[in-house]
Amino acid sequence: MDDCVILREFATACGRRFGHATLNAPKSLNALSLAMIDRLALQLDAWAADPTIVGVLLDGSGDRAFCAGGDVAALYHAIQAAAPGEAPAEAKAFFEREYRLDYRIHTYPKPIVCWGHGIVMGGGIGLLAGASHRVVTPTTRMAMPEISIGLYPDVGGSWFLRRMPGRTGLFLALSGAPLNAADARFAGLADFIVADDERERLTALIADTRWDAPVNDASPANHARLGALLDRLGATCAVPASPLRKHFDCIEAVIGHDGLADISRRLTALAEDADPWLASAGKTFVRGAPSSAQLSWVLWQRTRHLSLADVFRTEYHASVACTAHGDFAEGVRALLIDKDRKPRWQYASLAETPEGVIEDHFRPRYHGPHPLSDLV
């Protein structure tokens, strides 16, 4: 589907051009399909190689969302068609190409401004997190609630959650707590807060700016110009209060520095907190898949000193394995397919989740080199 991502270019004051890619599946809140991934990846490569292109604007169609995450419903149907206990080929292809795209954005030589309005979840955060200039708006509602569908915060989450203040990253992985624009900036997932109605003005300002020709495919001056332009656009934007910042000390105490069993007890108690934001975080943890909590905890330990490329390689193993184990399919069924919101997890508690099940998530499910072995 060529229209799943709208691709265009526009001229700037110096005659050089900006690429503009728009995720175009508003009915599904721009959920990221494999077709969208492939189309965007191919065009980003072309724009990177084109000396007349000085930067890229990435956004989403509609007013409701930049991107609500990966198309997990399609993965569910692939799992149903596969042999029991086997990861479907479609899942292997999806995660390889999604992570390859995310890594490309993290390492892109030219400025990428990502406009993260409305709902930004899961795979949408994966696109936003690596961009050089990450914009959120007063309508931004961001989360990585994968614990609710038997998954874990992937798309590089093992990298960027580790780089958040204190241990807020682990808290978000276990609780799926929602973030507003101020939270996103505090957590290091956003650089600029700009009013929603300034998107067209941003395009006009980019067009009116004189940009340097890329040198060796990059230009620090262009990155700085784009940053100054976005600072100007956001100067008068009203910024909401940040619950994440407000509750930072509480979050540090809840997560602590001991084991997952102790953290679990404190998160469970949080479900009864008088503060609605904290209570919601605790309830999401309580209702979530124990295997997902365990997997997030193990990834938090294992990826501490890994490079970004090695993080994506590790997450590839874990994500493909999730499609071979039952909780991911069950979580998607309960939330998106049957919509009964009553998942029946394989294991009722952390204590009942066998260590061998979690360890199996790190077993290669391919022959030959790692599918992402070329990431450096």
Evaluate if residue 215 carries a pLDDT over 90: no
Please count the other Cβ atoms lying within 10 Å of the Cβ belonging to residue 148. Answer: 20
**Rounded mean pLDDT of the chain?**
97
Cβ atoms < 10 Å from Cβ of 10: 13
pLDDT at 217: 65
Tokens encoding 164: 């958040």
Residue 189 pLDDT exceeds 80:
yes
* 94-to-114, 246, 300, 361, 362 alpha-carbon distances in Å: 22, 37, 23, 17, 18
CATH architecture of 2-362: Alpha-Beta Complex (3.90)
The per-residue pLDDT for range 124-150, each reduced to its tens digit, is 999 999 999 999 999 999 999 999 999
Stretch 329-347: mean pLDDT: 98
d(CA 9, CA 11): 7
Segment 270-300, tens digit of pLDDT: 999 999 999 999 999 999 999 999 999 999 9
Q: Could you read off the pLDDT of 1-37 as tens digits, one per residue?
A: 679 999 999 999 999 999 999 999 999 999 999 999 9
Residue spans per domain, the chain: 2-362
- The predicted pLDDT at position 133 comes to 98
DSSP secondary structure of 91-120: HHHHHHHHHHHHHHHHT-SS-EEEEE-BEE
- Residues with catalytic annotation? 70, 123, 146, 154
